[in-house]
Amino acid sequence: MCLFTVKSLYLIIQTSFLLIIIVFMCVCVCVCVCQVTRAPKLEQQGQLLGQFDQKAFLSSKQLKAGEDPYREHAFNLQESDRLGSERTIRDTRHYRCSSMTFDPDLPPTSIIITFHNEARSTLLRTIKSVLMRSPPHLIQEIILVDDFSSDPEDCRLLSQIPKVHCLRNERREGLIRSRVRGASAASASILTFLDSHCEVNTDWLQPMIQRVKEDHTRVVSPIIDVISLDNFAYLAASADLRGGERSHCFTTQTHLFYLTPVIAGGIFVMDKGWFNRLGQYDTHMDIWGGENFELSFRVWMCGGSLEILPCSRVGHVFRKRHPYDFPEGNALTYIKNTRRAAEVWMDEYKQYYYAARPSAQGKAFGSIADRLALRRKLNCNSFRWYLENVYPELKIPEQDAAYSLLKQGGLCLESHGTDSLGLAECKSTPSIPASQGVSNPASIGGMVNSTLFSLLTAVISLSLFFFLFFFLKVVKTLMWSFSFAI
């Protein structure tokens, strides 16, 4: 009788221990690995969208049966439409980011999104992700600039969403002049430029506004995660910037940032006064391309700095080709824009730009007199200063024909021997040492950080489990020998 009670007690203890450990492990793994953005409640949804009828907006422009889903937007439109206007995505930040604190009095920002014939589902997802994943008091307004899309209805309908205004260009102006128009209309003191096929992640905005509030000359960018153009999977980009080297990572209390010589340019936050003082953008640049170099050189050389904040994450659909046409041709526009950047900012180093792009010689690029005057007025540093102080790792050809690389998201800023800088899709180069981060897929680095904690927890739980298992085995044996002794 006594033995029976002891045995059942032992069984009960054993089972409860097992159950507790299994539940504990499941919770740990779920909380840490599958951390995702929170879905908004239904009543919140109503408040977010006001009178806007998202079902009607999305359903009136669906892909027809048999149509190539990649044709119009260079991404899988069918998959984007299937996802609808919102979804939960994985929180790709380092787990320590979620414990960061911010000033309670952060200033609000105007979000500026320019678009040209964007797919309705991706554009609406961009807007909704901003409304759902930003503290409402930090969003002063969302300014859409419709760069003469074929259907003016997109702009009109989206203006029905609370806080959203839409400006429509009367002719095709390109990203640069559209952004300047949006910035001029902005009423907040901080500007946030966003691409039209993005999804912002948990607490993306606060780290960037915090850094700009502390010092208005900082221009800050998030880590840009990759949204697959085929299946729209949200993939974490590597947090290892500057070729996997972490020496430029600083922390001030809890705020993590990397200084960067160039930003990708699609997504960044900048003080409006500083944006205007630095001469906004070079509005003689057309459509797209090169403006990120011009802005990056100008910010650094004229007294500001560029940062990437690993605790701020925004997903972006990287595409392999431009889905829209350039009125003067893709290559000509890119050459005109980059040539303007080189002529105004690169001093004697522009020879390397021409060495890499001999076709740029003799191509028209318009007058740069006003930009040179701006550079003099702002008393900016030389390009040599920029190379020596901001990007000393970049070996210029006359010193060393070494390979240098800066990576963000799926894009790489590369210099190969005598080639000049260029932002393009990352090429896998097996001859480059792994330490330079080239052969590592972009998604792995970022995941390592965020899953390290969960792996550790799992290992501890497993050890605990085996320890208890063997401990109970020993107890069991002892009990048996004890019962025989009786």
Binding residues for Mn ion, rule: CB under 5 A, are: 195
| Helix (H/G/I), strand (E/B), else coil: 395 | coil
Helices (H), 34-95: 42-49, 54-59, 77-83
Q: Which is nearer to Mn ion, 154 or 195 (CB)?
A: 195
Q: Cβ of residue 164: shortest distance to Mn ion, in angstroms?
A: 20
User: Which CB sits closer to Mn ion, 195 or 240?
Assistant: 195
The nearest distance, CB 133 to Mn ion, in angstroms, is: 19
When the beta carbons of 195 and 271 are compared against Mn ion, the nearer one is 195
140 vs 196, which CB is nearer to Mn ion? 196
Of the pair 113, 405, the CB lying nearest Mn ion is at 113
Q: What is the CA radius of gyration of the chain?
A: 27
Can you read off the two tokens belonging to residue 367?
A: 């007058």
CB of 25 vs Mn ion, minimal distance in Å: 40
CA distance 142 to 240: 31
Q: What is the 3-state secondary structure (H, E, C) of 201-263?
A: CCCCHHHHHHHHHHCCCEEEEEEEEEECCCCCCEECCCCCCCCCCCCCEEEECCEEEEECCCC
CB of 266 to Mn ion, least distance (A): 5
Rounded CA-CA distance 458/452 in Å is 10
User: Is the Cβ of residue 206 or residue 337 nearer to Mn ion in the bound state?
Assistant: 337
The distance of closest approach from Cβ of residue 269 to Mn ion in the complex, given in angstroms and rounded to an integer, is 17
Q: Which residue is nearest to Mn ion (CB)?
A: 195
Cα distances from 411 to residues 32, 313, 439, in angstroms, run: 28, 16, 13
Encode burial over 227-262: b for 16+ CB neighbours within 10 A, e otherwise.
bbbeebebbbbbbbbbbbeeeebeeeeebbbbbbbb
Minimum distance of Mn ion from residue 288's CB (angstroms)? 9
Cα–Cα nearest to 109, from 200, 55, 57, 183: 183
Closer to Mn ion by Cβ: residue 91 or 195: 195
> Helix, strand, or coil here: 213?
helix
Give the pair of three-digit tokens for residue 486: 């009786």
Work out how close the CB of 301 gets to Mn ion at its nearest, in angstroms, rounded to a whole number: 26
For Mn ion, the closer of residues 92 and 114 by Cβ is: 114
How many Å apart are CA 249 and CA 257, to the nearest integer?
A: 6
Shortest approach of Mn ion to residue 197 CB, angstroms?
A: 6
